């Protein structure tokens, strides 16, 4: 079973019911300050931390004086637009005293379905983490109508974990894990400490959301666990209501851990390997040797390009003898690649007229 102390890259999902007082509609600032203390402590040991936060609609409805009940779509979107500013400001205010820079990242579920958008999101997140930034991710509720209707930041958190290659995902919730039945109704319901395989029986134990502010219930958490564990990410559901919830978990707090089925990098490689290539990059001997040594594919090493493809499409990598070296997801279209092949990376901006990525295919986006 995983342990929070072992996390190398951690995604923490925070539900609306934890951030916003259900009676007043105001931010629970003391709780958020304590969470910031936990994040700072985890970062000090070298762990990357990404926060996936609900709360924009819940905060916005308080500012606009809207009722704590189901809202029409247009009102939900308006509340999200108002609340998102407050949410981003709140995280900055509690994390900056610890010397932590924050970044707001608004995404939709479609960003993981479209390869081009997926690669852009992944590259941006990696760059932010490389700068030591803690990204604060939220669903773009002002445009994501399906998410607002059905509420699913649990699944979004799992997809973020997959995108950044996280090895652990923590869902801070208003429950301390999965039970054999609803513990509020059945006093004999048993807490489940660890899940190795998500069976139909496990799925059947999940219930619905218990809070008007929190749209995701245990069903969405189990769905998130399937996504995360299949991508090699361990996931825990734990009670988030106490102050310093991550420290509580680390010190033995009750949780349900869903164990990963593989490791993140292996899962990503398998995903890429199943794709049908749309084109070919032919490399010179120097580039072929660089790839074998674990390097990314740079434009300078490409001598020929075949096929028509877009950004994010799978492309076969070959040597000049025609032997396949592998498969990767390209960061440039075939037209762009034709213009920059054989060029140094520092020449890309002058050729294309804008500053692009240094690599045609990053080493994390290829299978050899």
The CATH code for residues 4-264 is 3.40.1160.10
Residues of the chain with CATH 2.30.130.10: 275-367
**294-306 pLDDT, tens digit each:** 999 999 999 999 9
**135-181 pLDDT, tens digit each:** 999 888 777 665 444 356 888 899 899 889 899 999 998 889 999 88
DSSP-assigned states of every residue in 185-212: T-TT--EE-EESS--HHHHHT------S
DSSP-based three-state secondary structure for 255: strand
Assigned token pair, 168: 């652990």
* Count of helices and strands (H, E) across the chain: 15, 15
pLDDT band at 210 (very low <50, low <70, confident <90, very high): very low
Mean pLDDT of 244-248: 97
Burial of 188 (0-12, 13-18, 19+ CB in 10 A): exposed
DSSP E strands in the chain: the ranges are: 9-14, 48-53, 102-107, 134-139, 168-173, 178-179, 191-192, 194-195, 234-239, 255-258, 279-283, 302-306, 314-319, 324-329, 366-367
What is this structure's pTM?
A: 0.79
Average pLDDT, the chain: 88
**To the nearest whole percent, how much of the chain has pLDDT over 70?**
94
CATH 2.30.130.10 applies to domain 275-367:
yes
More confident residue, 212 or 75: 75
Residues of the chain with CATH 3.40.1160.10: 4-264
β-pair partners for 274:
none
**316-365 pLDDT, tens digit each:** 999 999 999 999 999 999 999 999 999 999 999 999 998 888 999 999 89
């Amino acid at each position: 079973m995983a342990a929070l102390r072992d996390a190398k890259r951690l995604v923490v999902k925070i539900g609306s019911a934890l951030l916003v007082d259900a009676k007043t509609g105001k931010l629970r600032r003391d709780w958020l300050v304590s969470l910031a203390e936990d994040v700072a402590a985890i970062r000090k040991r070298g762990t990357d931390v990404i926060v996936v936060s609900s709360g924009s609609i819940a905060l916005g409805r308080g500012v606009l004086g809207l009722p704590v009940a189901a809202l029409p779509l247009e009102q939900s979107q308006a509340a999200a637009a108002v609340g998102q500013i407050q949410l981003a400001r709140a995280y900055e205010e509690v994390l900056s005293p610890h010397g932590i820079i924050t970044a707001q990242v608004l995404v939709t579920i479609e960003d993981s379905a479209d390869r081009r958008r997926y690669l852009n999101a992944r590259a941006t997140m990696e760059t932010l983490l490389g700068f030591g930034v803690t990204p604060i991710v939220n669903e773009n509720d002002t445009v994501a109508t399906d998410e607002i209707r059905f509420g699913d930041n649990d699944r979004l958190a799992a997809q973020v974990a997959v995108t950044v290659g996280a090895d652990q995902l923590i869902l801070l919730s208003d429950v301390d894990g999965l039970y054999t039945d609803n513990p509020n109704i059945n006093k004999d319901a048993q807490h489940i400490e660890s899940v190795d395989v998500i069976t139909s029986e496990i799925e059947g134990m999940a219930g619905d959301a218990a809070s008007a502010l929190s749209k995701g219930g245990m069903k969405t958490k189990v769905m998130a666990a399937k996504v995360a564990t299949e991508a090699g990410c361990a996931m825990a559901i734990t009670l988030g209501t106490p102050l310093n919830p991550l420290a509580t978990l680390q010190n033995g707090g009750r949780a349900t851990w869903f164990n990963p089925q593989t490791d993140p990098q292996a899962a990503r490689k398998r995903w890429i390997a199943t794709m049908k290539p749309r084109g070919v990059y032919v490399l010179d001997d120097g580039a072929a040797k660089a790839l074998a040594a674990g390097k990314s594919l740079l434009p300078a090493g490409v001598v020929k390009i075949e096929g028509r493809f877009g950004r994010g499409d799978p492309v076969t990598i070959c040597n000049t003898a025609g032997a396949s070296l592998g498969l990767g997801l390209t960061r440039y279209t075939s037209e762009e690649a034709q213009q920059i092949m054989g060029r140094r990376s520092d020449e890309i901006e002058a050729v294309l007229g804008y500053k692009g990525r240094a690599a045609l295919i990053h080493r994390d986006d290829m299978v050899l």
